Structure 1
Amino acid sequence: MKEVNVRQARTNLAQILKEVEQGQEACILRRGHPIARMTRPEEAFGGFRSRADLRQELPPRHEESTRAIRALRDAERY
């Protein structure tokens, strides 16, 4: 694992990121103590799943959302 201080990390960030991208780890030190570790993510983020199924499962609301929120706010105040 490569260890660099904060100043070196700031000036050489592009190079450090290239090394991390290739599989190396980098540890950033402040006054000789580790404060952060940079590693390559284990898997790429695939995005959020669709919430269409969830929306279809919810029962229909008979009350407008603005009235429901106003009622909740009024109940909290008094």
Structure 2
Amino acid sequence: MRSLSVAQAKAQLSALLDAVESGEDVEITRRGVPVARLTRAAERPAAGFDLESFLAATNEQPLHTERDAAALLQELRDGARY
């Protein structure tokens, strides 16, 4: 594991990120005392969009269970008249 001071890490940040990306761990020290460690981030699987569960959740909303949008809009317009 490579060890660098804060000043060295600031000056070489792009190179350090390249090294970390390739799998190397880097320790950053302040006055010789370790304060941080750079390691490669864990890979996350891509989250897919589940359309069926989205539509099911949407249809459970109160607005969608009683009437359609056209009927709701007509009720709102009728109620606004004096």
Q: Which amino acid aligns with 1:50?
A: F
Q: Secondary structure at the match of 2:49?
A: coil
Q: TM-score, normalised by structure 1?
A: 0.60
Partner of 1:71: none
Kindly report structure 1 stretches of 4+ aligned residues shifted beyond 4 Å. Answer: none
> 1:55 offset after TM fit, Å?
1.9
Partner of 1:33: 33
Q: Secondary structure at the match of 2:48?
A: coil
- Structure 2: 5+ residue runs without aligned partners? 65-82
2:55 pairs with 1:56: yes
**Cα RMSD (Å):** 2.2
> 1:51 offset after TM fit, Å?
4.4
- Structure 1: 5+ residue runs without aligned partners? 64-78
Q: TM-score, normalised by structure 2?
A: 0.57
